Amino acid sequence: MVKVMAVNAGSSSLKFQLFNMPEESVITSGIVERIGFEEANFEIKVDGKKHVVTCPILDHNVAVQLLLDALVEHKVVDDLSEIGAVGHRIVHGGEYFSDSAVVNDDVVSKVEELCELAPLHNPAHLIGYRAFKEALGDVEHVFVFDTAFHQTLDAERYLYALPKSFYSDLKVRKYGAHGTSHKYVANEVIKYLGNPKHSRVIVCHLGNGASISAVEDGVCIDTSMGFTPLAGVMMGTRCGDVDPSVMPYLCKKLNKSPDEVLNIYNKESGMLGVSGISSDSRDIENALFNDGNEDALLTGLLYSRIVSKYIGSYVMELGGVDVIAFTAGVGENASYLRRIIIDNVSRALGCHLDESLNAIRSKDNRVISSPYSQVEVMVVPTNEEVMIARDTMRLLEL
């Protein structure tokens, strides 16, 4: 039995789970939020109880030390030497990594090089890695890349219709994101199907960030996010696909720079921009069903229509579909959005939900389609952390 720490470091946060492997049992989990602030929050869950501390956490080194001290204080471990390995989520691996990687100087150098493609994420991941490396000494580390699962896309799916030199010289192409989640969910669906030789799965990872993937025989053949996580479907605050000509038009009309408009695309659009209510689908759902808010209704309809269009296009690419799987915060919990999305594709695919099953909230994998549906529809709660732990075990041969 090996204790493996799975880490997801953001620009101002650090999420973690400590696993007993290979049993995959969670020993403890938690999050550090508002890193860099005088009033930061540290939360750790031990034996079913949450312990919350508010204190200054000025950088990731302080956050990591606070976490490691808490492990000993709450007797999660008697000594930090019990931690056998650490796996880190890395958003962007570019074309360098089609799989997770054991960390060495070359791997770190490549991730540093890719910081310009993920400026909000990769630098934070590296800070988290270095903080754990300093605190834990000789413990080995593994990087698990969000983009790796999508490296199986072929050129006709990852290239943009731009001058070829933009790709060859500047590496402008579709990279995708959420790959760790897409891989986990696709594998769970294939397992549910009985591990057939051939399978066609569409994974709808719908959270504050959202992406769709087409998975054939366990291999990703297309995905909705592009050069950055801004592309694809509408999200909490991100616009998704927009005519490129909108950018210079808004710059001129609003007297804003491209960076300022891009900030609007990323942080003021999506559900928040259309509804004027919130980026949180729960707030929009409350406004719709409690207040009859018309903008909330429009937001739900627009969101669902965009997702269903991607589902339809991926059905064509796959030559059919066996299972449509919903995951992440919105996909797992917003039953009314699942219903609208499936209604949108029902005439073409002959798929239908069982409303009583769709209404159930559970942390378990579950089928929500009716028995007479020609395509099965599932909800599969994602677990990126366990995928990080699995890859860490596999690559370090623990």
- Amino acid (one-letter) located at 95: E
pLDDT in tens, 243-295: 999 999 999 999 999 999 999 998 899 999 999 999 889 999 999 999 999 99
Residues 135 and 209 in one domain: no
State what percent of residues in the chain have pLDDT above 70: 100
Q: Which residue has the tokens 């594998």?
A: 187
Does residue 44 sit within a domain? yes
- 200 shares a domain with 131: no
Query: Residue 109 and residue 277: Cα distance in Å, rounded?
Result: 42
Task: Please tell me the total count of domains within the chain.
Answer: 2
* Active-site annotation holder among 146, 154, 259, 283: 146
Same domain (yes/no): 226, 372: yes
CA distances from 311 to 213, 222, 230, 307 (A): 9, 11, 18, 6
CATH of the domain at 205: 3.30.420.40
Among residues 119, 145, 171, the one where a domain terminates is 145
119 with 199, same domain?
no
- Evaluate the CA torsion angle 10, 14, 17, 22 in order and state its sign: positive
At 295-311, the pLDDT tens digits run 999 999 999 999 999 99
Give the largest Cα separation in the chain, rounded. 62
301 lies in some domain: yes
Over the chain, what is the mean pLDDT?
93
CB atoms within 10 A of CB 80: 15
Q: Is residue 200 part of a domain?
A: yes
209 plus 316 within the same structural domain = yes
Whether 220 and 127 share a structural domain: no
The confidence score (pLDDT) of residue 98 equals 92
Tokens 């627009």: give the residue: 302
306 lies in some domain: yes
Check whether 23 has a pLDDT greater than 90. yes
* 288 is a domain residue: yes
The pLDDT value given to residue 192: 97
pLDDT at 118: 81
Residue 390 counted as domain residue: no
125 lies in the same domain as 264: no
Domain end among 145, 172, 204: 145
Active site residue 391: no
Q: How far is CA 21 from CA 4, 75, 341, 393, in A?
A: 7, 19, 38, 8
202 confidence band (pLDDT: 50, 70, 90)? very high
Residue 167 lies in a domain: no
Q: Rounded to two decimals, what is the model's pTM?
A: 0.91
State the pLDDT confidence band at 13, using cuts at 50, 70 and 90.
confident
Examine the pLDDT at 151 and tell me if it is beyond 90: yes
pLDDT cut 90: percent of the chain above it: 80
Q: Do 80 and 213 belong to one domain?
A: no
How would residue 128 be classed by pLDDT, with cut points 50, 70 and 90?
Answer: confident
pLDDT score recorded for residue 388:
95
Among 85, 118, 145, give the residue marking a domain's end: 145
254 and 130 share one domain: no
The average pLDDT across 127-144 equals 91
At 287 the pLDDT is 95
Q: Which residues pair with 381 in a beta bridge?
A: none
Given a cut of 90, is residue 33 above it in pLDDT? no
Residue 266 lies in domain: 194-384
Do 137 and 218 fall within a single domain? no
Q: Domain check: are 198 and 73 in the same one?
A: no
Q: Is residue 294 part of a domain?
A: yes
**pLDDT band at residue 48 under the 50/70/90 scheme:** confident
Residues 133, 252: one domain?
A: no
pLDDT at 220 over 80: yes
Sheet of 200-206: strand order equals: 219-223, 210-216, 200-206, 323-327, 376-379, 366-367
- Give, in order, the Cα–Cα distances in Å from 313 to each of 128, 194, 213: 38, 26, 11
316 has a pLDDT exceeding 90: yes
